[in-house]
Structure formats: C-alpha cells, structure tokens
C-alpha cells in the first residue's frame, strides 16, 4: 500500500485506515523537511493549485498556502468576497474558469455541506475539502490525530473527548470519524442543545458532565463556540456556558492525572479554555498548527502524485 | 527470470575494504569529511564503510548521514506508483565539508542528480564525491561518474542488479537478474 485509495480528499468518511497511516508516515518526512534551514522541496514544481475560499479563513488558508509553497507548487488564491460570485456566477462556472488556466488541484472551503463532493463530480481536478459548512474538515481531523499520535505514541485505544458545539462543528464530525477509524474511544460533551440527536449512531457516547468527561479522557479537544453559526439561542449566556463547559487550571489540577489539551483555533480565551490552560505545557495547540503544515504537505503530495 | 551471483560475501568484503582504504588515502582522519548514504539502500554501504574505518583503521570519529531523495526526484507523477519516502537523518552541517555520497548501484545517474539537489538544503559543501559499490557502465542518462567504484559491470537494460545485505536480507550477496 503506497498510494491513497482516493483521488480527492472530500472527507474522512471516504478514507481507509491505511490511507490515514500513509498520510501520517508521509507527514513525518515533511515535518523533518520543514524543520531544516531550507524548508522547501521541488516535488510539485509542475503543479498549479488554486485555493478557493467561499468562506472566511485565516489559519487554514495560510497553512494550505505554506504547504503548497514548501512543495514548490504554483499557487493562486481566490476569495469569494472579491469575485464574480457576488455577480451571480455558479460554483461550477467559477471553478471551470479557474481550471481553464491549467490548474491541477483545487483546495476549497465552502459554506454548503457537500460542495466539494459536488465539485469533484463536475470538474476535472483533484479536490481538497478545506471545510464544507457543518459537514467535514478532513485536514483538521488528520492533523489532530497526528498530534495525538505524536504526543501519546498512538491513537488506538486512547480516550478522546470533544467538548463544545458538536452540532455546528465540521471539526467534530471529521474528528469523530478519524478517531473511530483508528480505534480510539470517543465521547462528546456539551450542552444538550448543541449535541446532534443521532450522534450515538457514529459510535460515540454523550457525556453532559464535563468533570466526568475529563476524568475519563486522555485527550480533550476543546471546540470554539461558533457564534456566527448560532441562529437561535442554544444556551442562556456565554458566562453560563463557561461555568459548565469551560476548562480552567483549577479544574485540570483537580483531575489527579495529566490530560492533553487540544484546540483547533481560533481560541476564545476565557470562554472554552482559560489562558493559563491554553498556554500550559499540557496544551499542544501550537504543535497542532505546526503539524497542520506537514499534514497538508502530505495530503497534497499524495493526491498530486495521482494526477496523470 | 534467471539470476547469477555477481559478487559473493567474500568479494563484497574485499571490495569494501579497498574502498575504505581509498577513502582513507584521500580523507585521512575524516575531520572535515562526512559520509552520506542515499536512502533506501546506499545507507547499508555507508554504515559498513564506517564500521570498517572505525574498527579496523582506528578512525576516531566519522559523521555518517542518510539522505532521502524522494521529494527531489525528477520522475514524480511519471510512474504508476506514488513515490514513497524514507527518513533523512543528517544531524550535522555540511557547510564547507567534503561530502562523499554513497550508493549501492549507479545506473542512470538520476538518483545522484536528485541527491545533489537535496544536499543543497543542508548547506554548501566544499566538494562532493561519489562512491558506488556497483557501477553499471553504458547506462548513464546524465554526465555523472563515480570517484570510487567497487565493481564495474556491463548490464543490459533488461537486467537488474540486486544487492542484498546481511543486516536487512539475511546474507551479503549481489545478483544480476535477467527479467
């Protein structure tokens, strides 16, 4: 097994366990590359990649762009804010226009779930999903699992709790799928209003008490409350949310064991985690960011090698 | 498919000793020289040479590194398979050093070309030499020749040279395989 079983990265749902291992092994090599004084390799010098973002993003876009440049690909960037999308152009037309300029791969973020899958059926390029609505964010899940593997040696049989807004989070869904695929035990924790009804069908347990969840877990992945996606009031106030589901240093110290704290960013300091937790040595938040570049290099490299 | 033994364990051992002596002649105490084995199979040659130099010729310290060239190869997307990487382990600077690149079989020269590009990521060496255990004559695609060669063979394109090592494959032997 030395190549991916897929031609696009649309979601963790479409990957096999062996694909994840191949991505991790390749990322190990790229991590060594990005820690050299000269951080660039020439592999993708004849590949052009378009980063198409129909939704705001800072770190994911930067991380993808850096990964592409470290592989020597040519990169073009497109943000919906400044484009003809506002003038009424359809998604397929927009992307086909870009592809006419001889682009080989499209990295796309879109507010609608399934946008990447739709695109992959209609255009001739490798598609990487960089987040589609509340559906999936596969590279984030891969870098999260990779960071757990780096910190704890393995993902299998580890207890991972995902805390926060599970309902609106693409990070949560992709993470659950990726963790289950690798044999981890997963619980979700948050206000009942923000936990999807049929979440148990994914093989995860629901825990509404944060202290119980933290006592059970090896790793806690703290999600941000996505105020921009909350159309109605799911909990009374942010302060009440913090009191029930926020992690502070006192709570961590009371656990009697050292758990790993993760966060996909951006952090709302003082809401889901306090500053002393985010900056503590238990937190691997900045490692996640560094690993993000290595993982994205691996995904792009492996997908690009299937473009003939 | 038929195969014949090109070199036996004894012959390989004699050749490795000769190559070690040639390296000694040019690099003396290896204080400003580093050996770099090209992954995946040049590393065995590099480790053997280091062992001989250290144990039998009492060279006190030699820097040995492993270089993976996968991401520098010129055949990315041109074959059927994804090129799989191996680890690079170079824990020293090669700036101003005499570098000896080491590989088991020198064939088209394209790997060495990629290795020369890859080396640039680790500094500007004083000079670079090439050591190849087996040199397949008349098959070069690029103007690259070894400074130290173990054995020169005339193998036609349908043939393959396969080098086995005790530490990896159970025995030391080099085969010429006719496909």
Q: Is residue A4 part of a domain?
A: no
Across all residues in chain B, what is the average pLDDT? 92
Which of A26, A41, A308 lies nearest to residue B72, judging by beta carbons? A41
Residues A294, A187 share a domain: no
User: What does the H/E/C string look like for A201-234?
Assistant: HHCCEEECCHHHHHHHCCEEEECCCCHHHCCCCC
The torsion angles phi and psi of B25, rounded to 5 degrees, stand at: -55, -40
Residues A127, A45 share a domain: yes
Residues A176, A128 share a domain: no
pLDDT digits (tens, 9 = 90+) for A9-21: 999 999 999 999 9
pLDDT at B50 over 60: yes
Shortest distance between the Cα of A19 and any Cα of chain B, in A, equals 13
Cβ neighbour number for residue B133 with a 10 Å cutoff: 28
CA distance A292 to A286: 10
Q: Give me the pLDDT at residue B142, please.
A: 95
pLDDT digits (tens, 9 = 90+) for B78-97: 777 777 888 889 888 899 99
Domain enclosing residue A37, as ranges = 12-136+289-304
Q: Give me the pLDDT at residue A108, please.
A: 95
Q: Is residue A7 part of a domain?
A: no
Q: Nearest-CA residue of chain B relative to A306?
A: B77
Domain enclosing residue B32, as ranges = 2-74+85-178
CA distance A260 to A152: 9
Section A102-124 average pLDDT = 93
Residue written as tokens 């129909």?
Answer: A54
Residues A275, A185 share a domain: yes
Domain count for chain A, please give it. 2
Section A102-130 average pLDDT = 93
Q: Is residue B79 part of a domain?
A: no
Q: Give me the pLDDT at residue A11, please.
A: 96
- CATH number of residue B157's parent domain: 3.40.50.2020
Residues A224, A242 share a domain: yes
Section A150-165 average pLDDT = 96
Shortest distance between the Cα of A66 and any Cα of chain B, in A, equals 16
Domain count for chain B, please give it. 1
Residues A111, A42 share a domain: yes
Contacts of B121 in chain A (CB under 8 A): 33, 36-38, 40-41
Put simply, the answer to whether B85 touches A307 (Cβ < 8 Å) is no
Output the CA–CA distances (angstroms, integers) from residue B40 to A50, A233, B34, B67, B85, in the order listed. 34, 58, 18, 8, 9
pLDDT at B62 over 70: yes
Residues A75, A171 share a domain: no
ipTM above 0.85, yes or no: no
- Burial label for A152, CB within 10 Å (0-12, 13-18, 19+), is middle
> Which structure tokens are listed for A245?
């589901």
Q: Is residue B80 part of a domain?
A: no
Q: Is residue A207 part of a domain?
A: yes
Mutation target to probe the A interface, by most A beta carbons within 10 A, among B74, B78, B84 is B84
Q: Is residue A6 part of a domain?
A: no
Angle between helices A138-152 and A17-34 (to 10 degrees): 70
DSSP A308: -
Residues A191, A299 share a domain: no
Section B101-109 average pLDDT = 95
The torsion angles phi and psi of B161, rounded to 5 degrees, stand at: -100, 125
- CATH number of residue A115's parent domain: 3.40.50.1370
**Residue A273 pLDDT grade (very low, low, confident, very high; cuts 50, 70, 90):** very high
Shortest distance between the Cα of A145 and any Cα of chain B, in A, equals 21
Residues A109, A174 share a domain: no
- Burial label for B156, CB within 10 Å (0-12, 13-18, 19+), is exposed
Residues A268, A149 share a domain: yes
**Residue B17 pLDDT grade (very low, low, confident, very high; cuts 50, 70, 90):** very high
Which of A32, A37, A40 lies nearest to residue B88, judging by beta carbons? A32
**Residue A82 pLDDT grade (very low, low, confident, very high; cuts 50, 70, 90):** low
Residues A183, A227 share a domain: yes
Q: Is residue A111 part of a domain?
A: yes
User: Residue A107's closest CA among A135, A75, A136?
Assistant: A75
Q: Is residue A177 part of a domain?
A: yes
Across all residues in chain A, what is the average pLDDT? 92
pLDDT at A95 over 70: yes
Section A146-159 average pLDDT = 96
Percent of chain B with pLDDT over 90: 73
DSSP A189: E
Q: Give me the pLDDT at residue A84, please.
A: 62
Q: Give me the pLDDT at residue A187, please.
A: 97
Residues A187, A83 share a domain: no
Section A257-261 average pLDDT = 94
pLDDT digits (tens, 9 = 90+) for B125-154: 999 999 999 999 888 999 999 999 999 998
- Burial label for A206, CB within 10 Å (0-12, 13-18, 19+), is middle
Q: Give me the pLDDT at residue B93, please.
A: 87
Percent of chain B with pLDDT over 70: 100
Q: Give me the pLDDT at residue B138, please.
A: 86
**Residue A94 pLDDT grade (very low, low, confident, very high; cuts 50, 70, 90):** confident
pLDDT at A114 over 60: yes
Q: Is residue A31 part of a domain?
A: yes
Which of B72, B85, B123 lies nearest to residue A29, judging by beta carbons? B85
Whether residue A67 is preceded by a cis peptide bond, meaning omega within 30 degrees of 0, is: no
pLDDT digits (tens, 9 = 90+) for A174-216: 999 999 999 999 999 999 999 999 999 999 999 999 999 999 9
Contacts of B84 in chain A (CB under 8 A): 2
Q: Is residue A2 part of a domain?
A: no
């Amino acid at each position: 097994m030395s190549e991916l079983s897929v031609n696009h990265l649309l979601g963790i749902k479409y990957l096999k366990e062996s694909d994840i291992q191949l991505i991790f092994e390749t990322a190990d090599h790229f991590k060594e590359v990005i820690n050299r004084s000269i951080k660039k390799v020439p592999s993708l010098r004849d590949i052009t990649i378009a980063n198409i973002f129909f939704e705001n993003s800072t770190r994911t876009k930067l991380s993808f762009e850096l990964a592409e440049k470290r592989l020597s690909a040519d990169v073009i960037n497109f943000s919906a804010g400044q484009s003809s999308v506002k003038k009424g152009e359809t998604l397929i037309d927009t992307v086909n226009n870009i592809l006419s300029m001889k682009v080989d791969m499209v990295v796309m973020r879109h507010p609608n779930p399934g946008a990447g899958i739709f695109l992959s059926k209609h255009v001739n390029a490798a598609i990487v999903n960089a987040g589609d609505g509340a559906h999936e964010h596969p590279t984030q899940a891969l870098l999260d699992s990779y960071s757990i593997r780096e910190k704890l040696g393995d993902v299998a049989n580890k207890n991972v709790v995902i805390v926060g807004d599970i309902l609106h989070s693409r990070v949560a869904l992709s993470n659950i799928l990726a963790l289950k695929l690798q044999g981890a035990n997963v619980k979700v924790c948050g206000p009942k209003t923000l936990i999807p009804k049929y979440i148990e069908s994914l093989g995860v347990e629901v825990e509404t008490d944060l202290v119980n969840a933290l006592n059970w877990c090896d790793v806690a992945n703290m999600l941000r409350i996505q105020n921009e996606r909350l159309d109605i009031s799911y909990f009374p106030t942010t302060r009440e949310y913090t009191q029930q589901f926020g992690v502070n240093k006192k709570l961590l110290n009371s656990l009697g064991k050292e758990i790993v704290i993760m966060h996909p960013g951006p952090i709302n300091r003082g809401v889901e985690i306090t500053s002393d937790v985010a900056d503590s040595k238990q937190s691997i938040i900045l490692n996640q960011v560094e690993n993000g570049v290595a993982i994205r290099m691996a995904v792009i490299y492996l997908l690009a090698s299937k473009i003939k | 498919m038929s195969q014949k033994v090109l070199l036996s364990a004894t012959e390989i051992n004699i050749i490795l000793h000769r190559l070690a002596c040639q390296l000694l002649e040019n690099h003396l105490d290896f204080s400003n020289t580093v050996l770099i084995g090209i992954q995946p199979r040049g590393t065995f040659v590099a480790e053997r040479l280091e062992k001989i130099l250290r144990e039998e010729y009492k060279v006190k310290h030699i820097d040995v590194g492993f270089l993976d060239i996968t991401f520098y190869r010129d055949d990315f997307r041109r074959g059927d398979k994804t090129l799989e990487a191996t680890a690079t382990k170079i824990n020293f600077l090669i700036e101003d050093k005499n570098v000896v690149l080491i590989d088991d079989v020198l064939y088209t020269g394209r790997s060495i070309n990629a290795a020369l590009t890859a080396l640039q990521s680790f500094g500007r060496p004083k000079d670079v030499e090439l050591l190849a255990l087996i040199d397949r004559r008349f098959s070069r695609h690029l103007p690259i020749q070894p400074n130290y060669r173990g054995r020169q063979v005339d193998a036609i394109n349908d043939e393959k040279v396969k080098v086995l090592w005790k530490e990896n494959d159970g025995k030391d032997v080099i085969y010429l395989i006719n496909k």
